[in-house]
C-alpha cells in the first residue's frame, strides 16, 4: 500500500460490491455502462487506488468491441471478439459489475464451452488511426476471409484450405455430415492430391496471410455477403 501524492493509496485488490469476487491489477472486468441498453464495457485493470475518503478508483485500458472501431463489425469478427485499445481511463470501482476472461485467440478456439464471461482478443487497436496490430492475418476460403470462430468451416483434404459451407454451395447441415471434402479445384485434379487427414477442429495451423485493412478492399467476391459488402463499398466511394 504505497502512499502517493494527493493522498492517494494504491490498493492491491478491490472486492466487487455485493459479491466476494476480488479484482487485482491485470484482471479483466465488465463495467456498467451509463446506458442500460448497452452491453457492459470490458476493461483491463491497470491500477487500483483509494483517495482520502476511501473512494476507490481503477485505472483501466479499454477493450473495444468491433462495432466501436472505425472499420465497424465485419463478417469475420466473432461475437466475443474484443480489441485491446490504446484508450486509458480512470473509473469509479463501483462501476465494476463482474470479472471476465479475455483469452488469446488460440486458447479461445480450444475452449470446450464458451461462458458468458469468456471473450477473446487477437488484435490491438489504435483509436487515433483505426489501425490494428498485427495488421496481417491469415485468410481462408474462396472469399479470403480471416477465421471467425463462430462459423463452421470444412477443410479440403487436397489443398488443406478451409471453406465456408455456403461458399462451396453446401448447407451447414450437409457440411456437418461430411466425412471427406475436396474443394472444386482439388476434385477436378487427380487423386494423388488426396491425403488421409481427418478434419482438425479449427483452421489455426495454416492459411494464406493477407494485410488486414480497416475497410473492405481485401475482400474478393465469393460469399453473397462479401458481394454485398463490395457493392456497398463501391457506392460509398462513389458518393463520398
Cell 481503477 identifies what position?
Answer: 58
Q: What are phi and psi of 218, to 5 degrees?
A: -80, -15
CB-nearer residue toward Zn ion: 93 or 143: 143
**Which residues lie below 8 Å from residue 24, measured CB to CB, with a gap of 6+?**
12, 13, 14, 45, 48
C-alpha cell at 203: 483452421
CB of 83 to Zn ion, least distance (A): 23
**C-alpha distances in Å from residue 188, one per residue of 180, 192, 211:** 15, 12, 30
Q: How far is the CB of 189 from Zn ion (least distance, A)?
A: 9
Nearer to Zn ion, 84 or 223 (CB): 223
Measured between alpha carbons, how far is residue 46 from residues 12, 128, 159, 162, 206 in Å?
A: 11, 21, 45, 39, 35
Question: Of 82, 76, 86, 67, which Cα lies nearest the Cα of 28?
Answer: 82
Angle at 125 between CA 98 and CA 115, to 5 degrees: 30
CB of 168 to Zn ion, least distance (A): 8
State the nearest-atom distance from the C-beta of 224 to Zn ion, in Å.
10
Q: Minimum Å distance from CB 151 to Zn ion? A: 9
**Site for Zn ion, rule CB under 5 A:** 141, 143, 156, 158-159, 164, 167, 183, 186, 223
Strands (DSSP E) along the chain, which ranges?
A: 9-11, 13-15, 22-24, 28-31, 41-50, 56-64, 81-92, 96-104, 118-126, 131-133, 136-139, 154-155, 162-163, 208-211
C-alpha 77/C-alpha 176 separation (Å) is 22
User: Closest separation between CB of residue 2 and Zn ion, Å?
Assistant: 53
As measured in angstroms, the least distance from the Cβ of 197 to Zn ion is 12
Calpha distance 216→74 (Å, rounded): 9
Amino acid at each position: 500500500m504505497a502512499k502517493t501524492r494527493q493522498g492517494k493509496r494504491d490498493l492491491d485488490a478491490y472486492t466487487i460490491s455485493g459479491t466476494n469476487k476480488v479484482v487485482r491489477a491485470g484482471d479483466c472486468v465488465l463495467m456498467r455502462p451509463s446506458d442500460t441498453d448497452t452491453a457492459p464495457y470490458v476493461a483491463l485493470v491497470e491500477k487500483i487506488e483509494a483517495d482520502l475518503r476511501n473512494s476507490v478508483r481503477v485505472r483501466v485500458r479499454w477493450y473495444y468491441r468491433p462495432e466501436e472501431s472505425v472499420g465497424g463489425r465485419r463478417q469475420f469478427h466473432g461475437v466475443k471478439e474484443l480489441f485491446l485499445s490504446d484508450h486509458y481511463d480512470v473509473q469509479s470501482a463501483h462501476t465494476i459489475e463482474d470479472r471476465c476472461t479475455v483469452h488469446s485467440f488460440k486458447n479461445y478456439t480450444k475452449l470446450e464451452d464458451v461462458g458468458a464471461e469468456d471473450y477473446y482478443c487477437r488484435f490491438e487497436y489504435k483509436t487515433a488511426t483505426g489501425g490494428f496490430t498485427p495488421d496481417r492475418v491469415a485468410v481462408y476460403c474462396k472469399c479470403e476471409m480471416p477465421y471467425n470462430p463462430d462459423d463452421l468451416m470444412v477443410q479440403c483434404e487436397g489443398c488443406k484450405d478451409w471453406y465456408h459451407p455456403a461458399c462451396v454451395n453446401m448447407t451447414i447441415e450437409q457440411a456437418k455430415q461430411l466425412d471427406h471434402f475436396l474443394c472444386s479445384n482439388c476434385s477436378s485434379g487427380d487423386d494423388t492430391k488426396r491425403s488421409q487427414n481427418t478434419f482438425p477442429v479449427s483452421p489455426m495451423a495454416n492459411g494464406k496471410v493477407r494485410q488486414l485493412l480497416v475497410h473492405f478492399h481485401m475482400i474478393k467476391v465469393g460469399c453473397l455477403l462479401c458481394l454485398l459488402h463490395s457493392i456497398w463499398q463501391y457506392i460509398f466511394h462513389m458518393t463520398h
